[in-house]
Amino acid sequence: MYSVLTRGNAILTYTLSVLACLTFLCFLSTITVDYRTTAHMNVVKVVVKNVPDYGTSRERNDLGFLTFDLKTDLSHLFNWNVKQLFLYLTAEYVTPNNELNQVVLWDKIILRGENAVLDFKNMNTKYYFWDDGNGLKGHQNVTLTLSWNIIPNAGLLPNIQAIGQHSFKFPTEYTQTRV
């Protein structure tokens, strides 16, 4: 009446049900954890250039260069449901052409077990700081914010913004020298 396949199917079904329940409990155990922490950012050097766009030689756009300091401790964010953190530093500003501009300048992946205490000095941006026009020269309020995505073993993928941000301004003149 009960063959080997029937018994194997029953064991497999029971095992998968228990694993699904344990995964759900893993998710529930960390749903109320506050993953925010403070981050201290500072801009060391800011330069803006007016360079030709890649596609056309007639149109010129602003290209910003900056070096920054970043200090934060993210080690307490790791618990048994966190596999890794995806960090990214964004610059936000407003121009007459666009109500909100957001540019990702730098990112980093921190795996569980790696050093999660960041203390960077004079870091260059990883990505270009392009503006689709001339909105960077003389801009008075560009805000740097550090955010991260938590990659869990089970559950939601929260997007967290650090407590603390830094505002800076671009120079009113273009730089002609090489950066």
Reported as a single tens digit per residue, the pLDDT across 18-49 is 999 998 988 888 888 889 999 999 999 999 88
Residues facing 89 on adjacent strands: 106, 146
Residues 12 and 41 placed together within one structural domain of the fold: no
Instruction: Determine, yes or no, domain membership for 179.
Output: no
The total number of structural domains in the chain stands at 2
Instruction: Determine, yes or no, domain membership for 99.
Output: yes
Residues 58 and 20 placed together within one structural domain of the fold: no
Residues 27 and 73 placed together within one structural domain of the fold: no
Instruction: Determine, yes or no, domain membership for 40.
Output: yes
Residues 7 and 47 placed together within one structural domain of the fold: no
Q: 114: domain range?
A: 34-168
Tens-place pLDDT, residues 74-93: 999 999 889 999 999 999 99
pTM of this prediction? 0.84
Cα–Cα distance between 152 and 141 in angstroms, integer?
A: 35
CA 172 to chain centre: 29
> Are 152 and 99 contacting, i.e. CB atoms less than 8 angstroms apart?
no
Which 8-state DSSP code applies to residue 114?
S
Q: Exposed, middle or buried by CB within 10 Å (0-12, 13-18, 19+), for 101? A: buried
- Could you tell me which of 39, 40, 33, 115 has the C-alpha nearest to residue 75? 115
Instruction: Determine, yes or no, domain membership for 26.
Output: yes
Q: Tell me, what's the pLDDT at 106?
A: 96
Residues 81 and 144 placed together within one structural domain of the fold: yes
- Could you tell me which of 144, 74, 146 has the C-alpha nearest to residue 110? 74
The torsion defined by the Cα of 81, 28, 39 and 70, in degrees rounded to 10, comes to 20
Residues 86 and 52 placed together within one structural domain of the fold: yes
Residues 23 and 60 placed together within one structural domain of the fold: no
Instruction: Determine, yes or no, domain membership for 175.
Output: no
Mean pLDDT (the chain, rounded): 89
